[in-house]
């Protein structure tokens, strides 16, 4: 019988168990959910689904990356209430996706949760407050400095409450400050509540004892206390070694200077180690007659200086080994430099004064290179600063002073009008010398214009220094009389004697007294005279058949004849004939006047252009008279 009762009991228990499978599970003090998530984004993962109660308590993770179907159930302890859900990516960025009773809009949508059962039991509540504490790790500091450590707390379970921080034991000479002194832990699954952290500042003094200290942070909330240990190492500041000052410098291996001239070079320095300090420069071992300067004399590396070496002309020619020195106290750096002194050689250049020529014309001048000292060496000439349309040709581009070469200046038909200053450069023997001369370009006068006279014109250079008891200069004709003669066979050339080119040297050059204003004019009897270019003499320019008008400085015109009375008994036809002749003569005079006006049109144009360029009337008149125009007519044109 007992056996039968035992079998029946077992069957009853099995029947009760089978019947219970069709009912919701017995839930005491918790809620149970399951659900599905669709439409998760394909990028930005992995994703984790988290749940949170209204009081901020974090719940069990429902889903991890890749699990997008149904998940095992989870339990929510405590009273029933609304549950919020969040999808979190790898960077812990949370997006609300819904609740059991509503949907939230966001990147992740269509959350579908269903209640598997929702019963509130009367069992005990297991959500006791608990939290964790982190010290922020070990720290190091030097005496007199401070170090900061970030201390943090995290809610583990239950309803959060504020915790207060303290530190012990506190070493001598160290102070500790928490900021803030307390905070309330939160769950890491909470996306909206701020984290509970405090900044622990440990400050030492210069007298703090060196060593390693074991310290403990205590966080207290009611009866719940958490501790976190860490070490504080107080060590001496590292000693930075002081590096001694050192430098290097560079200089050319060789230098060349011409006797009587100078040369320059750059000396550069570089800082090798230490703190920069001034370095002084010097040069030793150079021959007599050499002067050496540095600019600046000293500088602090990295820096540079310029050395100038001057050979005064008496320096012996040859090559010397010099020592370049750069010093700072007992620190000395040296380099060997080779200095080559070339033999003394120098020249001077001279040309005539200003040259005058017309467009499409040419003129020549003599360039003389005079040896001043040293052995003769060839030099090469070059003419620069020529205006457009003007060329220069040298009869000898190269010669050995003392020597001369002819420079021919040619102006094209489009060459600019005016005065220019070309420069002649001579190079040779390691030297460069230059001189300049004037070139005046004018518009050529009409072959038929002006008077049938042309006055020779001479231009002379300055006298050279006294040498062999003589002073010399070069004088050349600068007029265009010969060219005009070729176009006008009737042109009369008035010769002007060539000025003296040699003077006997005296203690002072003799003063020459002018007798007239250069290119001035005057009347002497029936002759009109013109002053020479140097104001030393008068020269007959023109004989005036009707006498010379001294007031106008021009030839006088023929006096008009008194009208004659009509003789008695002369037939009337004679009067008609006389009247006709007078009319014809008047017409001829008018025609000649018109032709004369056209004849002097170029002169009027030249006067207008020259005035626009700023030339004075006396300069313009002298130039036109020199070109052969009648001065009296020019004076009338200039009124």
Give how far Cα 289 sits from Cα of 258, 284, 527, Å: 12, 13, 66
Identify the H or E element spanning 420: strand 418-420
Angle CA(74)–CA(75)–CA(78) in degrees, nearest 5? 160
Number of H helices, E strands in the chain: 6, 47
Nearest in space to 80 (alpha carbons), one of 27, 128, 131, 34? 27
Which pLDDT value is given to residue 219? Answer: 92
Hey, what long-range contacts does 157-161 have (CB within 8 A, 24 or more apart)?
A: 157/57, 157/127, 157/128, 157/129, 157/130, 158/57, 158/127, 158/128, 158/129, 158/130, 159/55, 159/57, 159/127, 159/129, 160/56, 160/129, 160/131, 160/184, 160/185, 160/186, 161/129, 161/221, 161/222
* CA–CA dist 19, 8 (Å, integer): 16
Mean pLDDT per block of 10 residues along the chain (639 residues) reads: 47 37 32 49 58 56 40 40 55 44 32 34 46 89 92 82 91 92 77 75 92 93 90 86 90 89 93 94 93 95 95 86 94 94 86 86 90 85 92 92 91 90 89 90 60 72 78 83 77 76 60 62 77 67 74 66 49 66 77 62 74 72 72 77
Tokens 């033999």 appear where? 343
Polymer length of the chain: 639
Name the 3-class secondary structure at 604.
helix
Which pLDDT value is given to residue 8? Answer: 45
**What CA dihedral angle connects 321, 322, 324 and 325, to 10 degrees?**
120
Edge-first strand order for the sheet with 303-311 is: 246-250, 262-273, 303-311, 290-295
**What CA dihedral angle connects 292, 296, 297 and 299, to 10 degrees?**
-140
Residue 170 DSSP one-character state: P
The two tokens of residue 54 are: 């209204």
Helix runs in 100-184, H state only: none
Strand partners of residue 201: 148, 177
The two tokens of residue 183 are: 């905070």
204 neighbors 146 (Cβ within 8 angstroms): yes
The pTM (predicted TM-score) of the whole model is 0.32
CA 359 from chain center: how many Å? 44
Give how far Cα 385 sits from Cα of 348, 349, 390, 391, 425, Å: 20, 17, 10, 10, 11
Angle at which helices 617-626 and 601-612 cross, to 10°:
140
* CA–CA dist 16, 7 (Å, integer): 14
Encode 313-343 in three state secondary structure: CCCCCEEEEEEEEEEECCEEEEEEEEEEEEC
């Amino acid at each position: 019988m007992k056996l039968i009762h035992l079998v029946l009991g077992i069957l009853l228990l099995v029947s009760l168990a089978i019947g219970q499978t069709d009912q919701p599970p017995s839930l005491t003090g918790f809620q149970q959910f399951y659900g599905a998530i669709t439409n998760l984004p394909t990028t930005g993962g992995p994703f984790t689904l988290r749940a949170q109660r209204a009081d901020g308590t974090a719940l069990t993770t429902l889903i991890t990356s890749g699990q997008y179907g149904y998940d095992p159930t989870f339990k929510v302890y405590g009273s029933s209430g609304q549950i919020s859900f969040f999808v979190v990516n790898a960077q812990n960025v949370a997006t609300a996706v819904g609740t059991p009773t509503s949907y939230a809009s966001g990147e992740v949508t269509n959350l579908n949760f269903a209640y598997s059962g929702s019963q509130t039991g009367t069992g005990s509540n297991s959500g006791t407050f608990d939290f964790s504490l982190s010290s922020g790790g070990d720290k190091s500091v030097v005496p007199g400095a401070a170090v900061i450590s970030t201390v943090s707390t995290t809610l583990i379970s239950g309803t959060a409450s504020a915790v207060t921080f303290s530190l012990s034991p506190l070493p001598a000479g160290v102070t500790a400050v928490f900021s803030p002194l307390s905070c309330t832990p939160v769950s890491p699954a909470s996306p909206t509540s701020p984290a509970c952290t405090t900044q622990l500042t440990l400050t030492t003094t210069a007298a703090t004892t060196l060593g390693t200290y074991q310290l403990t942070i205590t966080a207290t909330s009611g009866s719940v206390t958490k501790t976190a240990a860490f070490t504080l190492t107080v060590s001496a500041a590292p000693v930075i070694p002081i590096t001694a000052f050192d430098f290097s410098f560079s200089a050319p291996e060789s230098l060349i200077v011409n006797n009587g001239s100078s040369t320059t070079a750059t000396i550069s320095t570089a800082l090798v180690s230490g703190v920069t300090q001034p370095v002084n420069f010097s040069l030793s071992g150079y021959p007599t007659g050499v002067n050496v300067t540095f600019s600046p004399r000293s500088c602090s590396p990295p820096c540079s200086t310029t050395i100038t070496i001057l050979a005064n002309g008496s320096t012996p020619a040859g090559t010397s080994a010099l020592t370049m020195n750069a010093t700072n106290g007992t620190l000395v750096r040296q380099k060997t430099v080779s200095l080559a002194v070339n033999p003394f050689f120098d020249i001077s250049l001279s040309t005539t004064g200003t040259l005058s020529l017309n467009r499409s014309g040419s003129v020549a001048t003599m360039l003389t290179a005079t040896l001043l000292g040293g052995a003769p060496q060839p030099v090469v000439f070059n003419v620069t600063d020529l205006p457009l349309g003007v060329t220069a040709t040298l009869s000898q581009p190269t010669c050995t002073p003392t020597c001369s070469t002819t420079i021919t200046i040619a102006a094209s038909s489009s060459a600019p009008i005016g005065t220019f200053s070309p420069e002649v450069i001579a190079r040779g023997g390691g030297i460069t010398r230059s001189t300049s001369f004037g070139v005046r370009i004018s518009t050529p006068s009409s072959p038929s214009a002006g008077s049938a006279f042309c006055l020779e014109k001479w231009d002379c250079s300055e006298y050279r220094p006294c040498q062999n008891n003589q002073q010399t200069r070069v004088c050349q004709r600068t007029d265009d009389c010969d060219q005009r003669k070729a176009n006008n066979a009737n042109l009369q050339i008035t010769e002007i004697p060539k000025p003296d080119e040699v003077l006997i040297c005296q203690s002072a050059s003799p003063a020459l007294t002018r007798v007239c204003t250069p290119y001035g004019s005057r009347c002497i009897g029936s002759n009109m005279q013109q002053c020479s270019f140097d104001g030393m003499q008068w020269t007959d320019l023109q004989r005036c058949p009707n006498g010379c008008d001294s007031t106008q400085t021009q030839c006088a015109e023929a006096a008009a004849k008194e009208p004659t009375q009509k003789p008695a008994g002369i037939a009337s036809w004679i009067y008609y004939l006389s009247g006709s002749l007078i009319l014809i003569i008047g017409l001829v005079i008018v025609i000649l006047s018109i032709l004369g006006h056209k004849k002097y049109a170029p002169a009027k144009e030249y006067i207008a252009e020259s005035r626009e360029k700023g030339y004075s009337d006396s300069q313009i008149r002298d130039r036109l008279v020199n070109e052969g125009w009648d001065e009296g007519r020019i004076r009338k044109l200039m009124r």
